[in-house]
Amino acid sequence: MYEGAIQDLIDELGRLPGIGPKSAQRLAFHVLSADPIDVRRLAASLVKVKEVVKFCTICFNVAEDDKCRICRDPRRSDEILCVVEEPKDVVAIERTNEFRGRYHVLGGAINPLEGVGPDNLRVRELMQRLADGEVKELILATDPNTEGEATATYIALLVKPMGITVSRLASGLPVGGDLEYADEITLGRAFEGRRTI
Amino acid sequence: MAYVPGMRRPLQRDDAVVLRVQKLGESDRIITLLTRRHGRIRAVARGVRKMTSRYGARLEPFGHVDVQWALGSGLHTISQVEGLALLGKHFVEDYPRYTAACAIMETAERLTSEEDQPALRLFLLTLGALRALADGEHAGTLVLDAYLLRAMAHEGWAPALAECAVCATPGRHRAFSVAAGGCVCPNCRPPGAAHPHPLTIDLMIALLGGDWKTADAAEPAQRRECSGLVAAHLQWHMERALRSLPLVDRGERT
């Protein structure tokens, strides 16, 4: 147990996700020994991120203005909408350079065990976006786990009567892997989603 | 067998139902399992959120798995998993059944308040309910209500349905009081007791006793009333409300 400012810093760092007491102590002593300019820059970044960053009013991605960079881009298609769970999923899909439509960030997945239902996500806002009839295809890119699949099923249930094409990201084998190491569910999904070449 | 710090961790193996998964750190998960012989345990599954994980898909909720874990002083660590019946795939394509399965999982977790305490009957009941839900032979809400009634009976607080909950006078009584513990006779009826339809009480008796012919024939109004009474009775006996129960989709979407 240390005294004063160093213990306060250890306590604050220890409240961050994935940071245990030992890691908090290591980081605190790293900050203590670091160049004061670097520490001021870190502190300024922490303050700025809370003051400047907000959610895009259209897609709920992180943004510094009312609209995010993707919603402002006139070259992107308004006819294809990709639904993801978190802003970090937008970044992952953008890295592929394969998708030129717009996004909608739900803010999580339906998980009744944690008390998260459709009303806790931005499903209502999604339905409002789809109501104007501009979107022709909805891509459900929620995580390929139980909560993500159930969320996709729920949204598809709501959207299909609107006459919009609903698609789901394919599941299957990772590129660069050996077939013998694939588990039965992934391999089964890969067989279900096979395509002619 | 207890884990002694400094000694090599002993391994244990059992079949189990995956009740809950929670994110841990960068790529790990804490898995809550209801095992056949060891009761409820919590164990860390390392690296299962990575796309390259060899057994992450087998540790999704609702799965019946054969699992091996290394004992730890706090959390155990999962070392091997084989899928016996990965039932989750049946639920993710049917939203109402998914929400019903979640309520079953949360109930099972809450009824096993202490870890590492064997709960064979509850394990068998939970596995049976998940299988019935996956088969789709009966309505999801009926399977859920049957599970809740039988789980409450296992805990010793099933509602009295064929006698007065207060004075034990046998017979079918019209009034139902959650606080009194079930059906109550006119002499014992407390103020504010509900008066469900007699067929609703018949449905509850059928679900508790496994009479699926009667249960499947029940009208939607009786099913709704039955679900309300069962939920109220369950919540009364639980210290904290179940989070998943209000989110169960009973197919009444407008």
Query: Is it the case that residue A187 has pLDDT exceeding 90?
Result: no
A74-101 core/surface letters (b: 16 or more CB in 10 A; e: else):
eeeeeebbbbbbbbebbeebeeeeebeb
Instruction: Determine, for residues B58 and A145 on separate chains, whether the beta-carbon distance falls below 8 Å.
Output: no
Lowest mean per-residue pLDDT among A2-6, A40-44, B126-130: A2-6
Give the per-residue SS3 of A10-53. Answer: HHHHHCCCCCCHHHHHHHHHHHHHCCHHHHHHHHHHHHHHHHHC
pLDDT band at B253 (very low <50, low <70, confident <90, very high): very low
Predicted confidence at residue B2, as pLDDT, reads 57
CATH 1.20.1440.120 domain range(s) in chain B: 90-240
* pLDDT (mean) for B144-166: 93
Token digits of residue B6: 């400094």
Query: Which of B56, B92, B102 has the CB atom closest to A149's CB atom?
Result: B92
**Domain annotation for chain A: domains and CATH numbers:** 4-52 (1.10.8.420), 75-168 (3.40.1360.10)
CB-CB contact of A82 with A59 (8 Å)? no
CA separation (Å) from A12 to A18, A34, A45? 13, 18, 16
Q: Give the Cα separation of B144 and B179 in Å (integer).
A: 22
Q: Where, residue-wise, is CATH 2.40.50.140 in chain B?
A: 11-88
Per-residue confidence (pLDDT) for residue B250, from 0 to 100? 81
Interface ipTM:
0.84
Q: Which CATH number fits domain B90-240: 3.40.50.720, 1.20.1440.120, 3.40.50.1000, 1.10.150.120?
A: 1.20.1440.120
Residue to test with chain A: of B52, B109, B243, most A Cβ within 10 A: B243
Q: Give the Cα separation of B226 and B205 in Å (integer).
A: 10
pTM for the model: 0.86
DSSP states along B163-195: B-TTT--BS--SEEETTTTEEE-TTTPPTT-B-
Average pLDDT, chain A: 92
Residue pairs spanning A and B at CB distance below 8 A: 66
Is the pLDDT confidence value at B89 over 90? no
| pLDDT for A57 | 94
Nearest to A75 by CA among A103, A105, A100: A100
Please give the structure tokens belonging to residue B216: 């499947």
Is A18 within 8 Å of B62 when comparing Cβ atoms?
no
Q: What's the pLDDT at B5?
A: 63
Q: What is the pLDDT of residue A68?
A: 93
Residue B233 phi/psi, 5-degree rounding, is: -65, -40
Which ranges in B74-189 belong to alpha helices (H)? Answer: 88-91, 95-111, 120-135, 140-155
CA A75 to chain B, closest CA, distance in angstroms equals 32
Measured distance CA(B101)–CA(B80) in Å, rounded: 25
The pLDDT value recorded for residue B6 is: 64
Q: Give the lowest-confidence range in A122-136, A175-189, B68-82.
A: A175-189
Three-class SS state of A180:
helix
Instruction: Give strand pairing partners of B73.
Output: none
Computed over every residue of chain B, the mean pLDDT equals 90
Q: What is the pLDDT of residues A38-87, one digit of tens each?
A: 999 999 999 999 999 999 999 999 999 899 999 999 999 999 999 999 99
How sure is the predictor about B10, in pLDDT bands with cuts at 50, 70 and 90? confident
Span B69-75, average pLDDT: 86
Average pLDDT for A156-181: 86
Are residues A112 and B99, on separate chains, in Cβ contact within 8 Å?
A: yes
- Quickly state the pLDDT bin for A194 (edges 50, 70, 90): confident
pLDDT > 70: what percent of chain B?
96
CA distance A194 to A190: 6
Residue-level length of chain A: 197
- CB within 8 A of B158, min separation 6: which ones? B149, B150, B152, B182, B208
- Residue in chain B closest to A119 (alpha carbons) equals B247
Distances (CA, A) of A76 to A37, A167, B32, B79, B151: 40, 19, 43, 46, 54
- Note the CATH number of domain B11-88: 2.40.50.140
Per residue in B204-217, pLDDT (tens digit) is 999 999 999 999 99
Give the separation between CA A169 and CA A166, rounded to whole angstroms. Answer: 10
Residue B132, CA distances (Å) to A92, A158, B63, B212 in order? 38, 26, 14, 12
Q: Find the chain B residues whose C-beta atoms sit closer than 8 A to any C-beta of A.
A: 20-21, 25-26, 51-52, 54-58, 60-62, 83, 86, 88-89, 91-95, 98-99, 102-103, 105-106, 243-244, 246-248, 253
